[in-house]
Amino acid sequence: MADWEDIRHFLAVAQSGTLSGAARSLRVDHATVSRRLAALEAALDVRLVDRLPRSCRLTAIGRQVLEQALAMEAGAHGIARLAKAAHAPLVGRVGLSAPPVLVTHVLAGQLTRFRAAYPDIRLSLSAEAQQVSLSRREADVALRLVRPNEAGSVTRKLGTMAFGLYAHRAYAHLDAPEKWQFIAYDQHFADMPQQSWLLGIAGERPVVCELTHSSEHLIAARAGVGVAGLPCFLGEPDRDLVRIRKDVPPFARDIWLAVHRDLRKAPAVRAVMDFVAGVIAENRDLSIG
């Protein structure tokens, strides 16, 4: 059976992309990381990482093992939280700001689970597309698709939200790309990266409607209105939609967690941060980039 410490070192390598980066994050030397990684590969009898001159790249089996390792890490954190809560129950109100698509389709559905784990924490979950100020206490914790750069904040990359083109499987022009009509964002979000990506694909082809949020794009695509650029974690499990893969350039947005450094060790805030990180890690379509 694989040693958890070996797995923990593998996770650090996968997340940092280098042995030296993993060593820094774990506060150990380079040789320890290399030895732990080799021990895990020997125990599993597979090569998990291709060691390149300046980086480490996961093999195909390495990417699959990463998914399981992330789930193990989330479980380990859960055990630690339960033990800590048994000695000192966590209490207080914590404000969490996140993009609407993540609030609606990822976080809101986990509130019952959060409540069961932390009955004395009052989580205030706010769906906001714009960045909030942690310094002004507009939120205690923020989940963002752009790396926050506010002075005093501490950030961590949690995952990557990949996008794809989707249409209803009965869309009239599914097999005629020249006739595609597109569902775009309205002018309030004209500067979003996914809007530029979508309009670049559309080119001279028409935009049939403009909507504000990804959830609305999903509904319009389901209704057969046109072709939408959706986060893959929304499009892939939807049986009414098909993903259009022809000549579509890849596009993704990173998911960042931010907290003010003065709050990062507060028990209730820490619990919310760990919970959010675990929820993101468990979603296979919000993989670490």
pLDDT score at 183: 96
User: What structural domains and CATH numbers belong to the chain?
Assistant: 4-83 (1.10.10.10), 89-158+253-282 (3.40.190.10), 161-252 (3.40.190.10)
The answer to whether 228 touches 183, Cβ cutoff 8 Å, is yes
- Tokens 């949020």 belong to residue: 213
Amino acid (1-letter code) at residue 268: A
Give per-residue pLDDT as tens, 211-239: 988 999 999 999 999 999 999 999 999 99
pLDDT band at 90 (very low <50, low <70, confident <90, very high): confident
Whether the CA torsion 274, 275, 279, 280 is positive or negative: it is negative
Give per-residue pLDDT as tens, 148-178: 888 888 999 999 999 999 999 999 999 899 9
Give per-residue pLDDT as tens, 111-131: 999 999 999 999 999 998 888
Give per-residue pLDDT as tens, 267-289: 899 999 999 999 999 888 886 64
Give per-residue pLDDT as tens, 243-253: 998 778 889 99
**Opening angle at CA 133, ends 132 and 137, nearest 5:** 110
pLDDT score at 203: 94
Q: Which three-class secondary structure state does DSSP give residue 7?
A: helix
Q: Which residues pair with 127 in a beta bridge?
A: 98
pLDDT of 103 strictly over 90: yes
Which residues have CB under 8 Å from 81's CB, separation 6+? 117, 118, 271, 274
Please tell me the distance from the alpha carbon of residue 265 to that of residue 29, in angstroms, as a whole number: 26
